[in-house]
Chain A
Amino acid sequence: MSVADAPGVHDPSGRGSAFSGATGGTSESVVEPLVFERSRPGRRAVRFPAASERARAAAIGQPVVPEFARRAAAPGLPELSELELLRHYNRLAHLNQAIDLNFYPLGSCTMKYNPKVNEWAAALPGLADSHPFDPEPLAQGSLELMWLLAELLEDISGFCAVSLQPAAGAHGELTGMLMTRAFHRDNGEGEQRRKVLVPDSAHGTNPATATMVGYETVTIPSNQRGGIDLGALRGALGPDVAALMITNPSTLGIFEDQIDQVVAAVREAGAIAYMDGANLNAILGRFRPGAAGFDVMHFNLHKTFSTPHGGGGPGAGPVGVGERLEPYLPAPIPVLAEGDPAEVRANAWAGRSTPGARFALDADRPRSIGKVRSCHGNFGMFVRAYTYIRSNGGPGLRTISEDAVLAANYLRVRLRDAYDLPYDRPNKHEVVFSGRRQKREHGVSTLDIAKAVLDHGMHPPTIYFPLIVEEAMLIEPTETESLETLDRFVSVMHDIAGQVAADPDSVRRAPVTTPVGRLDEAAAARRPDLRWAHDGDEETASPA
């Protein structure tokens, strides 16, 4: 039995006996020393063999690192055995809240399970050992995979072209807005169109992206149903507007049911319609933004398409575009240089390569905004996302969204008597509650409630986001959880609501079963101490 299956009486954290009773509740205790503190001089995880005669001979006469560029002393790296290293990182992994251990309903993040078949595919030597600088004749398999993934993403989204380069969602947004700027400049309207409209229910990265590209952002309010205020949008649109950036479904988990009118109004005003695709997990097989008239959208492979999310990922934020922005896509683009696309696709779906087909990188794109990422992007993520899409297929992807939406609606209905529900209407993949009643009546904040969730061995929902909901709790269960897990979460949230009323102090003290209790988040942000100093270092410097 895994530790995740054993949330025993004495160990409600579910982490197993290795961590029970270690430190519960105090923030000073060290539950796992730093890897540097475990270090002992001379210990090694790997011992390299001496260089062979042949290698020595080959090195003779080769350039060497010049004296001035060499270290005077070896770097102070930790020295551990392989077993110590393994245990250290395994322990840290188990101290963490992770989707592979526990329920992780972190709203707006789509922390879905990452199927292990993705890892099998990414580890295939032909893909894993390929190099981004391989010449095209040696990189045909990798290029084919990228071409096929772009084709699949086009099918899913209804866009006519995709760039895989952007390394994350916000990077995809930046790419989209750089293309928007290039488009308006080409039309002689670069100076005139200075504003980007952003609904107040959008992701925070949307206004940040617009600002980075040099635009002024204008916030469009939501209406009482949680949709965009169409009157306010029409009032704000004009010849000075470069784009609308809309997150759909929004961060309230609500699909914009006037989206056709929104897109029509934006296009009529000569502006670009940008859709933030972070919430695509709600609408696979149901809504194709490109076909609905959007000009550009980024995908989050690390959300919708089950590549690792968190812990550095790395992410991948491909961008799809319609005809207006297609000329501006980042170059180069993997293309099928020789061969029939339909035949190549049919063969690929049947697990075959196509004799005579040749893939290439098309860099001859004169109006491109240029490269936005070194090499091809985060290629390992392309392999995983491709595997996910292929292993589910079209009907499977549609079922994924249906299940994600069903799970979130189930939680909405099961929890609405315990917590305030500011927008009580069918939602998509996530649902936002408010802890305002608990705060007003018992002085228990949403932060306290989130900490209490940790005591039940689950990751808390996103809190205090979206900003337009007071004491917000944004819950996104994703499609990968069983009914039993959802029911257990419901029962945990009901228990906590009861505890808030009966013994609010105990909730304010939570968590007490985790390796460390309440941490001083304010001090951590105001005076971060990020460096460990060796004995003999002058100080434990912290960047003030």
Chain B
Amino acid sequence: MSYPDDAVYSREHEWVRADGDLATVGITSFAADELGDIVYVELPEVGSVLTQFATFGVIESVKAVSDLYAPVSGNVVEVNDALRDAPELLNSDPFGEGWILRVELSDPGQLDTLLSAAAYAAETN
């Protein structure tokens, strides 16, 4: 499996695509495939604060309920409301329409602690 090169990845299977101090966060296609059909996602409120590697939400599939772990710290500025009615977007387009939230990075240096696409692919192989 290959992953978009313009994102970085956490070992907890989230991706981060940064644009300056703003970053978009989602789960990887590997995570979505492992979970199977996703039926529910619990999103944080806009304005809440993420702490790197702490849980920020819950994702539920027909197989299991799993925590979502923040790959970076920062303030949540936008969440993908479309997921509330259509959690299947996480399966069908995890790197696109299935994005989960946008965050204002409090420490952009954290991006360097995450994995490149190639390194993440090697981890999940």
Contacts and interface: CB of A to CB of B under 8 A. Distances in A.
Interface of A: 204, 447, 463-465, 467, 521-522, 525-526
Contacts of A204: 65
A525 B62 contact: yes
A463 B87 CA distance: 23
B102 to A, nearest CB: 24
A15 B79 CA distance: 50
Query: 3 closest A-B pairs (Cβ-Cβ)?
Result: A522-B37, A525-B39, A521-B62
Contacts of A525: 37, 39-40, 60, 62
A522 B36 CA distance: 9
Contacts of A447: 36, 63
B64 interface: yes
Contacts of A467: 64, 66
Contact of B39 (A463, A464, A465, A526): A526
B111 to A, nearest CB: 25
21 contacts: A204-B65, A447-B36, A447-B63, A463-B63, A464-B63, A464-B64, A465-B64, A467-B64, A521-B37, A521-B62, A522-B36, A522-B37, A522-B39, A522-B62, A525-B37, A525-B40, A525-B60, A525-B62, A526-B39, A526-B40, A526-B87
Interface in B70-125: 87-88
A224 to B, nearest CB: 19
Interface of B: 36-37, 39-40, 60, 62-66, 87-88
B118 to A, nearest CB: 22
Task: Provide the main secondary structure of the chain B interface.
Answer: loop
Given A467-B66, A522-B36, A525-B60, 9 more contacts: A204-B65, A447-B63, A463-B63, A522-B37, A522-B39, A522-B62, A522-B88, A525-B37, A526-B40
A521 B62 CA distance: 7
A464 B88 CA distance: 20
A521 B63 CA distance: 10
A204 B63 CA distance: 13
A10 B88 CA distance: 39
B81 to A, nearest CB: 15
Nearest to A544: B85
Contacts of B60: 525
Nearest to A520: B37
Residue of B62, B64, B65, B87 most packed against chain A (CB within 10 A): B62
Contacts of B87: 526
Contacts of A463: 63
Nearest to A522: B37
A306 B16 CA distance: 50
Contacts of B40: 525-526
A134 to B, nearest CB: 43
B69 to A, nearest CB: 11
Contacts of B39: 522, 525-526
